[in-house]
């Protein structure tokens, strides 16, 4: 036994010596020089389960079809795009200038901007698209048409054009994100012919990806295939091909992912969120949407004098457990809101007051305002004049709103505030309650899709009380002045100050009770690298960083043939 152990020791020592010698033959990194980093390489196919159905791949005809908008975001370009903070960035526009009075905008188009058929993008293409936007026979939203009817567009040269506004309007840049259409392909058609044109089946744009073909199965369009545009004016995307496959809902798209048919799910609805979170290898990305769910209080109803008291309105907000609502009714897919300007944007005031749930503080505030439980008994607070804190809350009878309205009722009941609930359709809520100002309290969503500029003017300015969207009927001169100044000021720093002052005034007066900002969730397989998603102004903004996504990577010093590593999901 002793002899055997000695022999084993000799063998082990010999192996160790050989290992040391071999190690010594490896090239050593010089001091201060790190291993070459991984770098993205072009190639690969990204396939996405797109919730929705195919309509028309035309950037002016996708207003009401989110699935089309997702595809069009890659096919078409606008003059301007916005970053996650809501600041304008050049897209087709190489540069622009604004007159001192804020009424004239000059734009220069990139000299290397081309359509997917190789023709140059020109000023005439932009003007042609604007003419369609104000064509009464073309199916675009009425507010878009009304806006462009007031704007004069002038051709300066092949790559330069000018917009003239009737008066200064700082949010104008919001209106320049429309996808430009090619005049040389559509200019000879009537608006009716464009709507029915084969172009909508085989589109030609100027975006980072170009149309390849439709996926047709059993006579139905089931998907769209796009290829990276080699002659793009900006960075060429790393991913060679994007394949969209249509599915009716998130659950079906998730099943397609599990079967290996797709690498991404365009929208993770709350019903599949737990499954996605538990699924290894599937990354979830979440971004704030441009929406606000809030409680309107009718500030001009003489039968509800307590709504006219800012201290009571703030007390009512303190009495709402909004975080519980977000966690339990929205499955965490929302952010508690502090005001009407979205967090993360350039106009948001970081030090805005946050009002936490505090039932005892709410009770104390109501008592201090003179509303107590009557001596003769009961559960509803009233003041000395006999005004009782009871009212009707009208809400949309769809989605999460019924549960949300019930939670509000249950939160306010222990405060001595009696709420009667009434569910109606969203159309009835607008036409029979908000527009005629006949409601007492209303639970609503504000949807500000495609509005990166905050501009709260339409909802809170005095001029909008009659006939506008100031449904709360907040008649506050100070706040209105801030909004007036901010929408005509061209200096961003000055606009930021005005909006900061407005937000402070809003939270002091609390003319409506903000509940939460909804969020959008998107799932992508871990094999897809470089994915980032910040705040969104439209769900299609999830592709704003797509040029940096990649499926194949290698060491910077390696050759692509030797170092490229393919990942699952390619066809």
Which residues are within 8 A (CB) of 283 and not within 5 positions of it... i.e. 6 or more apart?
Answer: 523, 524, 525, 526, 531
pTM of the model: 0.88
Report the topology of domain 40-56+207-281+526-571.
Answer: D-Maltodextrin-Binding Protein; domain 2 (3.40.190)
Q: Which residues of 462-487 are buried (b: 16+ CB within 10 A; e: fewer)?
A: bebbeeeebbbbbebeebbbbbebbb
Question: Architecture of 291-519 per CATH?
Answer: Roll (3.10)
Please give the average per-residue pLDDT across 71-77, as a whole number: 98
284 touches 274 (CB < 8 A):
no
The per-residue pLDDT of the chain, averaged, comes to 91
Give the Cβ contact number of residue 150 at 10 Å.
12
pLDDT digits (tens, 9 = 90+) for 190-230: 999 999 999 999 999 999 999 999 999 999 999 999 999 99
pLDDT at 7: 38
Gap between the Cα atoms of 31 and 22, Å rounded: 21
Cα–Cα–Cα angle for 83, 88, 89, rounded to 5 degrees: 75
Per-residue pLDDT at 14 exceeds 80: no
How many Cα atoms occupy the beta-carbon half-sphere of 136 within 13 Å?
0
Each domain of the chain, given as residue ranges in start order, spans 40-56+207-281+526-571, 77-195, 291-519
Class of domain 77-195 as given by CATH: alpha beta
Please give the average per-residue pLDDT across 388-405, as a whole number: 97
Measure CA 52 to chain center: 17
Token pair in block for residue 498: 């005005």
Token pair in block for residue 285: 């990305």
516 touches 330 (CB < 8 A):
yes
Give the Cβ contact number of residue 456 at 10 Å.
22
Gap between the Cα atoms of 107 and 161, Å rounded: 6
pLDDT digits (tens, 9 = 90+) for 90-145: 999 999 999 999 999 999 999 999 999 999 999 999 999 999 999 999 999 999 99
pLDDT at 571: 37
Give the DSSP H/E element, type plus range, for residue 212.
strand 209-217
Gap between the Cα atoms of 35 and 45, Å rounded: 29
Going by pLDDT thresholds of 50, 70 and 90, the confidence category of residue 15 is very low
For residue 523, list its beta bridge partners.
265, 284
């Amino acid at each position: 036994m002793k002899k055997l152990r000695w022999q084993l020791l000799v063998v082990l020592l010999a192996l160790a010596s050989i290992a040391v010698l071999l190690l010594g033959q490896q090239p050593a990194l010089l001091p201060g020089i790190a291993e070459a980093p991984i770098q993205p390489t072009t190639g690969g196919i990204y396939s996405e389960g797109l919730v929705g159905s195919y309509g028309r791949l035309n950037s002016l005809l996708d207003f009401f079809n989110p699935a089309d908008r997702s595809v069009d975001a890659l096919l078409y370009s606008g003059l301007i795009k916005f970053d996650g903070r809501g600041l304008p960035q050049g897209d087709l526009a190489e540069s622009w200038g604004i007159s001192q009075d804020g009424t004239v905008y000059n734009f220069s188009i990139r000299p290397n901007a081309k359509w997917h058929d190789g023709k140059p993008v020109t000023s005439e293409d932009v003007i042609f698209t604007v003419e369609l936007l104000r064509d009464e026979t073309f199916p675009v939203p009425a507010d878009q048409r009304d806006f462009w009817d007031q704007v004069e567009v002038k051709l300066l040269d092949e790559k330069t054009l000018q917009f003239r506004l009737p008066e200064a309007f700082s949010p104008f840049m919001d209106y320049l994100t429309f996808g430009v259409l090619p005049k040389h392909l559509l200019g000879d058609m009537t608006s009716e012919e464009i709507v029915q044109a084969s172009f909508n089946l085989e589109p030609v744009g100027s975006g980072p990806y170009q149309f390849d073909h439709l996926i047709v199965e059993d006579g139905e369009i089931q998907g769209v295939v796009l290829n990276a545009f080699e002659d793009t004016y900006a960075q060429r995307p790393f991913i060679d091909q994007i394949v969209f496959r249509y599915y009716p809902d998130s659950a079906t798209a998730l099943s397609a992912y599990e079967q290996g048919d797709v690498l991404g799910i365009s929208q993770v609805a709350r019903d599949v969120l737990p499954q996605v979170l538990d699924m290894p290898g599937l990354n979830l990305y979440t971004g704030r949407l441009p929406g606000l769910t809030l409680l309107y209080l009718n500030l001009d109803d003489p039968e509800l004098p307590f709504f006219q008291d800012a201290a009571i309105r703030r007390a009512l907000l303190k009495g709402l457990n909004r975080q519980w609502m977000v966690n339990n009714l929205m499955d965490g897919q929302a952010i508690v809101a502090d005001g009407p300007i979205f967090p993360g944007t350039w106009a948001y005031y970081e030090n805005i007051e946050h009002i936490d749930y505090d039932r005892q503080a709410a009770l104390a505030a109501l008592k201090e305002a003179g509303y107590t439980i009557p001596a003769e008994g009961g559960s509803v607070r009233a003041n000395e004049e006999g005004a009782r804190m009871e009212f009707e809350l009208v809400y949309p009878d769809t989605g999460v709103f019924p549960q949300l309205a019930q939670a509000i009722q249950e939160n306010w009941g222990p405060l001595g505030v009696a709420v009667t609930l009434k569910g109606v359709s969203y159309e009835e809520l607008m036409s029979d309650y908000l527009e005629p100002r006949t409601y007492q309290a209303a639970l609503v969503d504000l949807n500000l899709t495609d509005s990166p500029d905050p501009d709260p003017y339409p909802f809170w300015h005095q001029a909008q009380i009659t006939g506008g969207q100031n449904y709360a009927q907040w008649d506050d001169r100070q706040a209105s002045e801030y909004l007036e100044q901010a929408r005509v000021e061209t200096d961003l720093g000055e606009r930021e100050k005005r909006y900061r002052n407005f937000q402070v005034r809003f939270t002091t007066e609390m003319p409506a009770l903000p509940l939460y900002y909804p969020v959008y969730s998107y799932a992508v397989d871990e094999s897809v690298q470089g994915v980032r998603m910040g705040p969104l102004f439209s769900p299609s903004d999830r592709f704003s960083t797509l040029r940096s996504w990649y499926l194949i990577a290698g060491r910077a010093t390696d050759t692509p043939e030797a170092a490229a590593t393919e990942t699952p999901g390619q066809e």
